[in-house]
């Protein structure tokens, strides 16, 4: 457990702190109350879903459309949990422990877990995952709190810089994560859709940009693959 | 705003944010061995999830709120582009990219 918590104090932990610093600034900028904002970090524990939730609320999107968008953005967690579960699982299966561990799986825990867990003895992996997950959530809660409190105190240029942390870091993280044609196309279509659908209300903008852009990217990538084969 | 009341906001976080996210983690544990990495379904999910996140990030850049509203679009786009270029040039360092994006943004505010 302690070695997992120590692993949380690392470069990915620092990036996470900065990202949640930006999210705290975003919460403050949207006028979202602090404690429910912290609750979102603890319970949702997936920054893209949190950004979609708060961003959607601020632009007046209908709640069912936000829930659908959050759900669609979080489907990516399913294959991540499926992929990492064999490492966390010891010799015998314990469904409750697996459900608890699955909560911690988001981008950072997944990347760090996939990197570190295979080198550990099987019986220590569950405790390591809990230590790593709780450590990273703790760091992120601090980031959210500090970002929220800072945003009210900072002079305008720095408040703008704080709010800008979220789009800047996410764009770069998505560029880093893009490997295949599908990734690049989906990233490009999603970004480019924003100015085109900005006026549409009720969640239509996200449906067109996300579901439409993603499906288009999938179809083009499949066509490219077939042509190359 | 609908979320001004903290209890309403907490309920929204649980029902509109937590449950639609956590359900995929639970499904993965209970029934997840059926979605294989690299399958057509997996690829479509990946495409939609990526585009959805990119659309939200794009909205934060193109249609911003709060202290970013008064900045010209050229500065916001220039800062993002500078961040991506710095990331690619400096050993694919996320930190270098974010710092560069922020510096360009602040320079734009300062001299803008």
Any B CB within 8 A of A87 CB: no
Question: Which 140-169 residues of chain A touch chain B by CB within 8 A?
Answer: 156-157, 159-161, 163-169
Q: Which residues of A touch B63 (CB under 8 A)?
A: 59, 194-195, 198
Q: Cβ contact (<8 Å) for B105 and A29?
A: no
Which pLDDT does position A201 carry in this prediction?
62
Q: Cβ contact (<8 Å) for B52 and A67?
A: no
Average pLDDT over residues B72-100: 94
Distances B21 to A115, A176, B60, B71 between C-alpha atoms, Å = 24, 23, 22, 34
> CB–CB of A150/B67 below 8 Å?
no
Residue A75's SS3 state is: coil
Average pLDDT over residues B52-63: 84
Which pLDDT does position A104 carry in this prediction?
94
User: Closest Cα to residue A96, out of A119, A126, A134?
Assistant: A126
Q: Which residues of A touch B21 (CB under 8 A)?
A: 44-46, 49, 70-71, 74, 77
The C-alpha atoms of residue A74 and residue A140 are separated, in whole angstroms, by: 18
Which pLDDT does position A60 carry in this prediction?
81
Of A173, A192, A211, the CB nearest to B48: A211
Minimal CA separation from B67 to chain A, in Å? 5
Question: Which 49-78 residues of chain B touch chain A by CB within 8 A?
Answer: 49-68, 71, 76
Q: Which of A164, A166, A205 to mutate to test the interface with B (most CBs of B within 10 A)?
A: A164
Any A CB within 8 A of B4 CB: yes
Of A57, A157, A171, the CB nearest to B83: A171
Q: Which residues of A touch B64 (CB under 8 A)?
A: 163
Q: Cβ contact (<8 Å) for B21 and A35?
A: no
Which pLDDT does position A84 carry in this prediction?
78
Count of CB atoms within 10 A of residue B74's CB? 10
The band of B2, judged by pLDDT with boundaries at 50, 70 and 90, is confident
DSSP state of B67: G
> pLDDT means per 10 residues in chain A (229 residues)?
75 83 90 96 93 85 89 82 75 81 87 80 86 95 96 86 86 87 94 83 73 94 91
H helices of chain A, in order, are 2-8, 11-30, 34-43, 47-58, 63-74, 77-88, 95-103, 107-116, 125-153, 156-177, 181-197, 204-206, 213-228
Which tokens go with A104? Answer: 């911690």
The C-alpha atoms of residue A204 and residue A201 are separated, in whole angstroms, by: 6
User: What's the mean pLDDT when you consider all of chain B?
Assistant: 88
Which pLDDT does position B12 carry in this prediction?
97
């Amino acid at each position: 457990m302690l070695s997992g918590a120590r692993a949380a104090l690392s470069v990915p932990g620092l990036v996470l702190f900065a990202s949640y610093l930006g999210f705290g600034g975003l919460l403050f900028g949207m006028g979202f109350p602090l404690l429910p904002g912290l609750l979102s970090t603890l319970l949702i524990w997936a920054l893209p879903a949190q950004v979609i939730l708060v961003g959607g609320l601020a632009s007046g999107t209908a709640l069912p459309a936000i829930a659908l968008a959050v759900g669609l953005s979080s489907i990516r967690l399913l294959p991540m949990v499926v992929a990492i579960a064999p490492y966390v699982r010891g010799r015998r299966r314990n469904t409750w422990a697996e459900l608890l561990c699955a909560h911690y799986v988001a981008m950072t825990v997944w990347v760090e877990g996939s990197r570190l867990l295979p080198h550990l003895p099987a019986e220590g992996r569950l405790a390591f995952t809990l230590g790593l997950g709780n450590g990273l959530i703790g760091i992120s809660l601090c980031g959210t709190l500090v970002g929220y409190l800072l945003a009210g105190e900072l002079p305008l240029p720095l408040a703008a810089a704080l709010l800008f942390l979220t789009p800047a870091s996410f764009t770069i993280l998505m560029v880093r994560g893009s490997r295949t044609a599908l990734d690049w196309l989906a990233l490009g279509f999603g970004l480019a859709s924003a100015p085109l659908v900005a006026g549409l209300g009720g969640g239509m903008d996200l449906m067109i940009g996300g579901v439409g852009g993603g499906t288009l990217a999938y179809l083009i990538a499949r066509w490219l693959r077939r042509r190359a084969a | 705003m609908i979320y001004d009341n903290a209890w309403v906001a907490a309920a929204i976080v649980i029902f509109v944010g937590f449950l639609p996210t956590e359900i995929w983690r639970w499904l993965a544990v209970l029934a997840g061995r059926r979605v294989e990495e690299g399958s057509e379904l997996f690829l479509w999910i990946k495409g939609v999830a990526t585009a959805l996140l990119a659309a939200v990030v794009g909205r934060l850049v193109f249609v911003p709120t709060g202290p970013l509203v008064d900045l010209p679009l050229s500065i916001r786009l220039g800062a993002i582009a500078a961040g991506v270029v710095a990331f690619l040039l400096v050993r694919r360092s996320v930190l270098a990219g974010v710092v560069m994006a922020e510096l360009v943004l602040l320079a734009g505010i300062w001299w803008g």
